[in-house]
Structure 1
C-alpha cells in the first residue's frame, strides 16, 4: 500500500476502510498480512460474512443433498460424501473469493498499474459479470462482461481439477484402507478413477458453479442497490437465503453430473 501511495496515491475511501478494519482483530490481521483478501474486504464489507455463510450453509446443504440422492447407499458410499464435503469446503472459499470485487487502491485503474500485457488485459475484466463499474477507476462494457464468463470458467475449472485430485485421492485412500482392514465385500462400490473424477470437478466448477454464482452475485448486488440502502440488515438475510438455495441445487447437480460421467 505504501508503494501504491508513493506511485499513484491512495483513494480516500480505501484508506478509511483499511483503518476501520483495524478495529476488528481477525479482519485487521487479514488486511495487514494477506493482500488478496485485503483488497476484497476493502471492496465489500460483507466479504468475510459471505465466505462464512457459504462454508456453513454448504456443509449442511451438502449433507442433506447427499443423503437425499444416495438414499440407502449413503453409508456404503460414505467415502464419496466425505470427499465431496472436504473438496466443497475448500472450493467455497475459492468460489466466493474469485468472484468478489477487489478494491482499486491507487488513484488510477488496475490496468494502468500493471506492467504485463496479460495482467493489463485481465485488469479490464470484471470479477463477476454483474460487478459495478466505478467511473474513472474501473468501467466495463458488454464485451468485457461476456469475457468474464470465459475467464471464470478457466479459473473455476482449474480450482475444481486441483481440489478434485486432492479430495478424490483422499477418498480413494480411505476406501482402500477400509477394505484392507475389514476385507472386501460384494456390495463395495468400485474405486473411482482419480483423474476422471478431477476432470468432472473441473467441468462442474467451470459450468455449473460459474453460472450459479454469477446469478448469486447479481441478486446480491440488486439487493444492495435497492432495499439494503434503506435497511442494511436485509443484505445479510438475503445472502443467507440465496446461498442456501444455491447450495441445495449445486449439491444435487454435482451428484447427477458425477453419476452421468460414471465416476460415482
Structure 2
C-alpha cells in the first residue's frame, strides 16, 4: 500500500484465432466455423471455437483480420489477445459477439454454466468471446476460481488482468512485511504486550492495500457495450472514465481522451481521499480505544505512556496522504507495469511478475517516507 503504514499510524480456454474471410477460401467443416455473429467492425472466421456454423457475411477480400494470437484451446491472457488497442491492434475491436446458444455451448464444453450477467449480455446484443475465454481461464484456477464465482468484482478484474490477484497479494505481502519490521523496531520488548495494536494496524492495512490495487485495476467489458452506456448524467460520465490514467483504450468500446485521463486522475484522488479518511477514522479510533482501555485496566496513565493521537487530525492526514501521494505513486505504478507488459513481457511473460514486486516494493518505501514527513508536518507523529 502506498499507504505504507508507519509505526505511528494505525495501519501506519479457448483461444480465438481470427483471419479475414476471403471469397476464395476453401470451405471448412461446419464444426470448425463460428462466423455467425455480427462483429464490431469486420466479419472474421474464427477457428478452434468448437461451435456449429451459423451464418456468414462476406465483405470482400480487403477485410482486416485480428492479430491471430492465441491457440486452439482455452489458452489466452484474458484480455482478448490485445497487445494495445491504442497502438493499432484491432483484435479487441473485432471481438466476436456470441449469442446465448453459442455462449452456453462453449461454456458447457468447458464444464461450467454461464454466470447470470453473462447470459443476460448474450441475450441482449451478444457476449464477448474474449471475455468468456478469459473467464474460462480464471474460473479453472484452484484458488482464484472460487473467488471469481463468489465475487463478480474480482471476476471482472481477473478477466481483464489475469495478474490482478497476484498484484493484490504482492501489495499486501510487501506492505505487511514492511509494517511488521517497523512495528517490531518501534515497540521492541513491548511488541507482544501490545500485539492487539499490531493486529489492528494489519487489518486496516489489508483493507487499504486491496482498495488501492482494485480501484486502479481495469474491468472487463462483458457485452457489446460498456455499462456506462445504460447510465445517464453524472453517473454516465463517471463510469466512462478509465480505471487508471494509463489504462488502454478499446476502440469502438472505450476510447479514452486526454481529458478523460486528466479527469480520472482527479476523480481517483477524491476516491482515494475518501478511503483514506474512512480507514484513518476506523484504524486510529480502534487504536485509541485500545490504548485507553489498557490504561484503565491497569489503573490509569503513567509518565511513560505516549499521548493518544488526535483522531480527526490523523484521519485528515490519511485522507491527504491517500489523495495526493498514493494517487500519484499508484498511477505511476500502473503505467510502469503496463509499459513492461507492452515491451519485454511480450517475449518473456515471467518478467512481469518480477517487475511487479520490484516496482511495488520501491513504491512502498517511498510511500512510507512520504507519510512520515506528512505526519510530522501535521503534528500527529
Q: TM-score, normalised by structure 2?
A: 0.64
Aligned to 1:58: 175
User: What residue ranges of structure 1 are gaps of 5+ in the alignment?
Assistant: none
Between structure 1 and structure 2, the one with the greater Rg is 2
Distance 1:257 1:6 in 2: 53
Aligned to 2:121: 4
Distance 1:110 1:233 in 2: 33
Query: What is the alpha-carbon root mean square deviation over aligned residues?
Result: 2.3
User: What residue ranges of structure 2 are gaps of 5+ in the alignment?
Assistant: 1-117
Return the match for 1:128 from 244, 253, 273: 244
3-state SS of 1:139 partner: coil
Q: Per the alignment, do residues 124 and 100 of structure 1 end up closer, same or farther by CA in structure 2, a change over 3 Å counting?
A: same
Distance 1:115 1:176 in 2: 48
Q: What's the CA shift for 1:176?
A: 0.7
Q: TM-score, normalised by structure 1?
A: 0.91
Return the match for 1:218 from 335, 351, 373: 335
Query: Is 1:13 matched with 2:130?
Result: yes
Q: Say whether the 8 Å CA contact 1:153–1:205 is kept in structure 2.
A: yes
Q: Say whether the 8 Å CA contact 1:228–1:235 is kept in structure 2.
A: yes
Residues 162-241 of structure 1: matches in 2 within 5 Å? 162-182=278-298, 183-241=300-358
Aligned to 1:255: 372
Q: Per the alignment, do residues 190 and 200 of structure 1 end up closer, same or farther by CA in structure 2, a change over 3 Å counting?
A: same
Distance 2:378 2:190 in 1: 19
Aligned to 2:160: 43
- The structure showing larger relative contact order (alpha-carbon pairs under 8 Å, at least 6 residues apart) is 1
Aligned to 2:26: none
Q: What's the CA shift for 1:77?
A: 9.4
Aligned to 2:270: 154
Q: What's the CA shift for 1:83?
A: 5.0
Provide runs of 4+ in structure 1 moved above 4 Å. Answer: 65-68, 70-84
Q: What's the CA shift for 1:81?
A: 6.1
Q: What's the CA shift for 1:22?
A: 2.1
What is the number of residues matched between the two proteins? 262
Q: Per the alignment, do residues 8 and 74 of structure 1 end up closer, same or farther by CA in structure 2, a change over 3 Å counting?
A: farther
Kindly indicate which of the two structures has a greater share of residues assigned to helix: 1
Aligned to 1:33: 150
1:67-102 Cα deviation digits (max 9, x unpaired): 67x598996998876654432221000000000010
Distance 1:179 1:158 in 2: 32
